[in-house]
Chain A
Amino acid sequence: MADRQPSLAATAEARQRPPQLSAVEGLTPAKLSAESLSFYYGTFRALKDVSLEIPERRITALIGPSGCGKSTLLRIFNRMYDLVPGARVEGSVKLDGEEVTQMRDLLQLRRKVGMVFQRPTPFPMSIRDNVALALRLLGHGKAQVEETVERSLRDAGLWDEVKDRLNTPGTALSGGQQQRLCIARCLAVDPQVILMDEPCSALDPISTLAIEELMSRLAANYTIAIVTHNMQQAARVSNFTAFMLMNSEDRHGELIEFGPTSTIFNLPADKRTEDYITGRFG
């Protein structure tokens, strides 16, 4: 964590300023941003007035108790909510300054902003085809597909384990390997952002470690946002952490504090953050 963190002086300086947007100003440019973002499922407001910036080529962890809206926030970033009847967004969500809520080409958006889910979701086809499917749909030639399959599997840290059995079913892999296959599938279409929704919660500690190491490597080239219930994982892998909480009165999710992970886990500014990370509630 330390070698990818801003300097202590920068961290201290960031603490002096108000949280949210200004916490990462000047440290790294924002890849994704939300401003005064509220989200509704029908008449129920699931998120209220969330503003934060996800820094480019850094790992940002979203933490908070169940129901606080962190997975909802993650899904807004690539418009997964479009499939939910009655769902709507107020406020602004931007990818590289472009308004996500107004984008018409969702295929392009989801190519740029990939998603890895809690449970590995390999397609019922071979390891090769799992990675190649989207490339073929995009019209890539055979040689290019083969090259991308290998590169994606290598980048996902899976190549050496599967190179001799690319035609066997993806579902035959172990849980940790399946999750890395899903990451390879995501990498194949050359995304800029990878959203991960509790990617290790169904994995054993060894597979979890492999995914965490992979995330650290990928952060050199990709912007990563991860939802996790594992506080130690957030502390280990992320550069920035956002703490969210469900409002006790009208039950909407809200952002309580956002800043460098070292600050959130050492000297959080808000007592609610401290109570949560020290296990005193949630």
Chain B
Amino acid sequence: MEFETELASLRETLLRMGGQVESQIDAATRALRERDRGAADLVRRTDQQLNELFRQIREQCLMVIATQQPVARDLRTLMGIVYISTELERMGDYAVRIARITGTICGLPDKQLQPEFGLMADLTVIQVHDILDALIEMDEVRAREVAAKDDDIDRLYHRLFDTLVEEIGEGGGPEAALRGVTLMQAAHSLERIADRVTNVAEDIVFWESGQVVELG
């Protein structure tokens, strides 16, 4: 396969992976909010597809680097694809973690989730969507703008953390404590996904400009 075709194919696989990750995160947070054990199981099973795409990307990138010995922008493209696919794979893992947490929550008495939780989930899904748009357009400016919004999610996370600590402190027995701790893990997973979005933004800047930046 010609070099340009190889790069185009890799880019297409990366974007496909991005689309799947976005769906996975959306499905996982929806399953948690709706206490939908079946939807959560589907997220867990679908993760295999993401892992397979990640494996394909890594193998293809290694093969292209070994056979074509790219430099400059071509090398940054390949490194960018490897970096970003790694971030996407980890985001997928967090979606699975949220799906597992849903299983635990479904086994506990039904109780309304904190409003910050829904807000945080919505914002995280939007962040993932926006960074994928920046990736499709290879828009460095937009990538930086997306990364700058990470603070909003961090603030929500800290607020939710405090709320959950308070609830655990109020007593309510082992089930209430388990619910609090489990939701804390879910909130932490969302916060980590948003951090990975920032990493992708940094990777896009590197890919486009060659500059290694810290946007967090």
Which residues on A are within 8 Å of B, measured CB to CB? 231-232, 235, 265-268, 274, 277-279
| The one of A231, A232, A235, A278 that contacts B73, using a Cβ cutoff of 8 Å | A278
User: How far apart are the CA atoms of A274 and B75 in the complex, in Å?
Assistant: 11
- A266-B210, A267-B210 as given contacts; A277 in contact with B69, CB under 8 Å: no
The answer on a CB contact under 8 Å between B72 and A265 is yes
Q: Can you list 19 A-B pairs with a CB-CB distance of less than 8 A?
A: A231-B71, A232-B69, A235-B71, A265-B72, A266-B71, A266-B75, A266-B210, A267-B72, A268-B72, A274-B72, A274-B73, A277-B71, A277-B72, A278-B70, A278-B71, A278-B72, A278-B73, A278-B74, A279-B3
**Chain B binding surface SS class:** helix
Most A CB contacts (10 A, CB to CB) among B70, B71, B75 go to B71
Task: For the complex formed, measure the closest distance between the CB of B214 and the CB atoms of chain A, giving whole angstroms.
Answer: 15
**Chain A binding surface SS class:** helix
User: How far apart are the CA atoms of A279 and B68 in the complex, in Å?
Assistant: 10
User: How far apart are the CA atoms of A278 and B73 in the complex, in Å?
Assistant: 8
Considering only residues 2-26 of chain B, those with a C-beta below 8 Å from chain A are 3
| The one of B3, B69, B72 that contacts A266, using a Cβ cutoff of 8 Å | B72
Known: A231-B71, A235-B71, A278-B73. 7 other contacts (CB 8 A): A232-B69, A266-B71, A266-B75, A266-B210, A277-B71, A277-B72, A278-B70
Task: For the complex formed, measure the closest distance between the CB of A242 and the CB atoms of chain B, giving whole angstroms.
Answer: 16
B27-44 CB contact bits vs A (8 Å, 1 = yes)? 000000000000000000
Most A CB contacts (10 A, CB to CB) among B69, B72, B74, B75 go to B72
Task: For the complex formed, measure the closest distance between the CB of B81 and the CB atoms of chain A, giving whole angstroms.
Answer: 16
Task: For the complex formed, measure the closest distance between the CB of A5 and the CB atoms of chain B, giving whole angstroms.
Answer: 16
Q: What residue of chain B has the Cβ atom nearest to residue A265's Cβ?
A: B71
User: How far apart are the CA atoms of A2 and B3 in the complex, in Å?
Assistant: 28
Considering only residues 69-98 of chain B, those with a C-beta below 8 Å from chain A are 69-75
User: How far apart are the CA atoms of A274 and B69 in the complex, in Å?
Assistant: 14
- Chain A residues with Cβ below 8 Å from B75 are 266
Task: For the complex formed, measure the closest distance between the CB of A208 and the CB atoms of chain B, giving whole angstroms.
Answer: 15
Task: For the complex formed, measure the closest distance between the CB of A237 and the CB atoms of chain B, giving whole angstroms.
Answer: 15
Q: What residue of chain A has the Cβ atom nearest to residue B3's Cβ?
A: A279
Task: For the complex formed, measure the closest distance between the CB of A32 and the CB atoms of chain B, giving whole angstroms.
Answer: 26
User: How far apart are the CA atoms of A265 and B69 in the complex, in Å?
Assistant: 12
User: How far apart are the CA atoms of A235 and B69 in the complex, in Å?
Assistant: 11
User: How far apart are the CA atoms of A204 and B69 in the complex, in Å?
Assistant: 19
- Chain B residues with Cβ below 8 Å from A278 are 70-74
- Chain A residues with Cβ below 8 Å from B69 are 232
